[in-house]
């Protein structure tokens, strides 16, 4: 009887819809879960049955509600936020160290020149001369402390980069495995929604490490590349990313896929890994070079002028500082064994208690020097400008990070509006499909009664 067949098809369709709704509700708190629903279509009447309204309802598929464009937006937002986030910790740490009164090189220079100024009142005073040596040593220590912070940041970036590369390889391998499982599930008619959700979660995690581009394939697999086109995942194959340490301690990032090999630069990576490269190249290395230049200029100019004077015994001045740019622990230090009597403040050997050369040492503070990225600046202004430039970079990056967080949050909300589970909507669906199921079962009961009545009539 057609009536019973239609009702049975309707009851089965309602049951499938209830199963989908219950799956949605059970995963309402599952991160990255895409809601599902049944796609129904009416079955047309059979040929040769002109009096039939139709043959019931057909469950065409279980649909996974997912907007690929909104997923791509979310992944792009994650990459942009990751790039700013990777840099901000290092920028904040360096800014705090450089601006702190106890570690500021500017403060050390001021105290050193204040000691020289105090010594000019009584150049022969051993106590005042010792004060100059003490402040000179303290200034050198400030240079060394900052240099150690810069070196520590290099080491930390290398460690973080290596850890991120390991995560990229792991996620790439997982996505390739999921590609294979999704293709197999699709080919055998199994609903791949759970696998697709897991793959999207892996891509979202990957986008927080490197900036990726995703292209769908006809068989259900995807291809994942870096933004410059280097392949990360193609089908069920994934690339291998690695780091290679150079002689100067820096690292190169390399990518191998099948027989192809790529050397990656910061501009082609993006996200956290790209942010680390950008900070190291555009902020950390220039700052390191500038601080070493500044330390070298301080040592060279003071040593040069000091050698032109005479100490308390009438002997020519010797170097006050020892500078070694390659020594991360003691880039700048006092010459071993120097004592108060060795300071060459006099400009005339016959007047060892004079201050002619001392005044020239003081004048070095206002002399111009060339620092990469700053141009020609005075010794007293160089550090302040370096700190100001760093503060500006940090502020701009903080603004970018704040914007990135807002964009990421908004993209997540946009994704949820299409793919997320709405409790109220699912509750309504359950009520409606329950009514649909009950109505169809009522039709089946009526059809049975009609059938029984028909049999009785012929009995």
Task: Say whether 323 sits in a helix, a strand or coil.
Answer: strand
Transcribe 247-301 into DSSP letters.
TTS-EEEEEEETTEEEEE-GGGT-HHHHHHHHHIIIIIHHHHHHHHHHHHHHHHH
Residue 374, pLDDT above cutoff 80: no
Q: What H or E segment, with its residue span, contains residue 213?
A: strand 212-216
Mean pLDDT value across residues 97-102:
89
pTM of the prediction?
0.87
Q: Are 279 and 156 in contact (CB under 8 A)?
A: no
The number of helix segments (H) and strand segments (E) in the chain equals 10, 13
Query: Confidence band (pLDDT; 50, 70, 90) for 368?
Result: confident
The position carrying tokens 């820096």 is 250
pLDDT reported for residue 51 = 66
pLDDT reported for residue 442 = 92
Angle at 65 between CA 60 and CA 67, to 5 degrees: 125
Provide the mean pLDDT of the chain.
91
Mean pLDDT value across residues 351-356:
86
Residues 177-230 pLDDT 10s: 999 999 999 999 899 999 999 999 999 999 999 999 999 999 999 999 999 899
Phi-psi region of 242 (alpha: psi -120 to 50; beta: other; left: phi over 0): beta
pLDDT reported for residue 6 = 86
Residues 104-156 pLDDT 10s: 999 999 999 999 999 999 999 999 999 999 999 999 999 999 999 999 999 99
The position carrying tokens 């994650």 is 78
pLDDT reported for residue 459 = 63
Locate the DSSP E strands across 313-403. 321-323, 332-334, 368-371, 375-378
Neighbours of 22 (CB within 10 A): 13
Neighbours of 123 (CB within 10 A): 21
Query: Which of 211, 225, 214 minimizes the C-alpha distance to 275?
Result: 211
Share of the chain above pLDDT 90, in %: 73
pLDDT reported for residue 259 = 87
Tell me which long-range contacts 293-296 makes (C-beta under 8 A, separation of at least 24): 293/369, 293/371, 293/372, 294/105, 294/143, 294/369, 294/371, 294/379, 294/382, 294/383, 294/386, 295/143, 295/147, 295/323, 295/325, 295/331, 295/332, 296/323, 296/325
Residues 251-292 pLDDT 10s: 889 999 988 899 988 667 999 999 999 999 999 999 999 999
Residues 307-322 pLDDT 10s: 999 999 999 999 999 9
Q: Are 226 and 269 in contact (CB under 8 A)?
A: yes
- Give the separation between CA 215 and CA 54, rounded to whole angstroms: 41
């Amino acid at each position: 009887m057609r009536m019973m067949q239609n009702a049975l098809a309707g009851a089965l369709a309602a049951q499938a819809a209830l199963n989908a709704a219950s799956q949605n509700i059970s995963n309402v708190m599952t991160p990255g879960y895409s809601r599902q629903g049944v796609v129904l279509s009416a079955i047309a009447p059979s040929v040769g049955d002109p009096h039939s309204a139709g043959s019931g309802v057909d469950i065409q598929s279980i649909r996974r509600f997912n907007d690929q464009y909104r997923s791509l937006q979310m992944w792009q937002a994650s990459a942009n936020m990751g790039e700013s986030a990777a840099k901000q910790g290092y920028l904040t740490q360096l800014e705090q160290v450089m601006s702190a009164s106890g570690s500021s090189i500017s403060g050390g220079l001021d105290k050193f020149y204040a000691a020289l100024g105090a010594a000019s009142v009584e150049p022969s005073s051993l106590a005042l001369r010792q004060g100059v040596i003490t402040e000179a040593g303290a200034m050198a220590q400030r240079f060394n402390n900052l240099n150690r912070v810069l070196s520590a940041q290099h080491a930390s970036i290398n460690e973080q980069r290596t850890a991120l590369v390991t995560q990229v390889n792991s996620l790439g391998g997982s996505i390739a495995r999921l590609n294979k499982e999704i293709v197999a599930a699709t080919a055998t008619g199994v609903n791949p929604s759970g696998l697709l959700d897991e793959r999207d979660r892996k891509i979202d995690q990957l986008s927080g490490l490197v900036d990726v581009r995703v292209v769908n394939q006809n068989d259900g697999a995807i291809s994942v590349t870096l933004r410059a086109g280097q392949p990360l995942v193609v089908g069920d194959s994934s690339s291998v990313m690695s780091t290679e340490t150079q002689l100067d301690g820096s690292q190169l990032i390399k990518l191998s896929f099948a027989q192809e090999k790529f050397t990656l630069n910061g501009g082609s990576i993006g996200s956290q890994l790209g942010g680390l490269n950008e900070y190291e190249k555009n902020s950390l290395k220039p700052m390191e070079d500038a601080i070493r230049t500044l330390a070298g200029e301080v040592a060279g100019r003071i040593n040069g002028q000091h050698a032109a004077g005479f100490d308390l015994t009438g002997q020519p001045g010797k170097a006050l500082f020892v500078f070694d740019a390659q020594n991360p622990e003691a880039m700048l230090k006092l010459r071993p064994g120097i004592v108060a009597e060795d300071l060459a403040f006099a400009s005339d050997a016959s007047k060892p208690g004079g201050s002619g050369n001392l005044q020239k040492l003081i004048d070095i503070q206002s002399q111009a020097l060339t620092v990469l990225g700053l141009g020609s600046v005075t010794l007293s202004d160089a550090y302040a400008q370096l700190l100001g430039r760093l503060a500006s970079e940090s502020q701009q990056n903080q603004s970018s990070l704040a914007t990135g967080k807002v964009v990421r949050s908004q993209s997540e909300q946009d994704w949820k509006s299409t793919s997320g589970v709405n409790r109220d909507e699912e509750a309504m669906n359950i009520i409606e499909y329950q009514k649909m199921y009950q109505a169809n079962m009522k039709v089946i009961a009526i059809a049975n009664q009609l059938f029984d009545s028909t049999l009785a009539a012929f009995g």
